[in-house]
Amino acid sequence: MTPLSRSDIASRLVAAGYIPDTDLTTAIQLMRMLDRPLLLEGEAGVGKTSVATALAEVHGAKLIRLQCYEGLDQAAALYEWNYQRQLLAIEAGRGRDADALADDVFSEKYLLERPLLKAIRMPSPPVLLIDEIDRADEEFEAFLLELLSDYQVTIPELGTIRATSIPLVVLTSNGTRELSDALRRRCLYHYVDYPDVDREARIILARVNSAGASLALAIARMVEAIRKEDLRKVPGVAETLDWAVALTGLGVETLGDNPEIVHETLMCLLKTREDRSRITAEVTTRLLGRVA
């Protein structure tokens, strides 16, 4: 994988539909330079997962995703044995030497790769997304340390397997629990915040072809104003993009001229009953008066 300059990374991210800030561009450049994973923290919906998707496009690499959840174990993340085929082989091998049969059924041909093992055995480095690591148990987080520091894993029956190529690893966390210091030490760190108005308008223009510059800017301003209200669930970038698609699909060119449609389509941004009741038609009109 050829090292890229910061300007090359920034332009390729933009071409992939991701508008980065300068800190993120630097972090991505350092990932390959130092062979370190990148830990992205931030509120849900700010675009952390999109970083990995765009990074794969930047490098022309395959994206391998491991979605974390409570109870995730090594069998689902690393490998497991194909027990059904092993049983069939054992049945067929009755009468063979027991040790030879055991060596055979615990060989590569009965091994099922899961995302982590698949990532380190690819001939060219992929982008490995370990999504929402904060949802996994602490035990699983500890298991990851060997992989993230030495890019190798141990399978008792086969021994230590070292990476064929070192993947670009992106971990995301929504902060539902505190991550260990050991994990943080192994990673570069970047906090993904909500974009400012200018960057969010550029994101809309990059991702929603039907939106013009003035409408994109008005949408970004309106979303920023809504985020400052007392909400239970603050809308993220994905919700902004949905809203932009909805507005342009309904033929809206100017927010201020269409207050009723603007209010009715806030269902794209507001995802709880409490938030929907807080942003009344009067509130929508008040916010439009500030931004439109």
Query: Given this model, what pLDDT does residue 120 score?
Result: 94
Query: Given this model, what pLDDT does residue 167 score?
Result: 95
> Which is more confident, 173 or 3?
173
Q: pLDDT (tens digit, 9 = 90+) per residue, 161-211?
A: 999 999 999 999 998 899 999 999 999 999 999 999 999 999 999 999 999
For residues 221-240, give the mean pLDDT.
Answer: 95
Give the model's confidence band at 292: pLDDT under 50 very low, under 70 low, under 90 confident, else very high.
low
> Which is more confident, 103 or 7?
7
Q: pLDDT (tens digit, 9 = 90+) per residue, 40-81?
A: 999 988 999 999 999 999 989 999 999 999 999 988 999 999
The 8 Å CB, 24+ separation contacts for 135-141 are: 135/68, 135/69, 135/70, 135/72, 135/176, 136/68, 136/69, 136/70, 136/72, 137/70, 137/71, 137/72, 138/180, 140/68, 140/72, 140/73, 140/74, 140/77, 141/179, 141/180, 141/183
Give the model's confidence band at 91: pLDDT under 50 very low, under 70 low, under 90 confident, else very high.
confident
Query: Given this model, what pLDDT does residue 52 score?
Result: 96
Sheet holding 38-41, edge to edge: 63-67, 127-131, 168-173, 38-41, 188-191
Give the three-class secondary structure for 70: coil
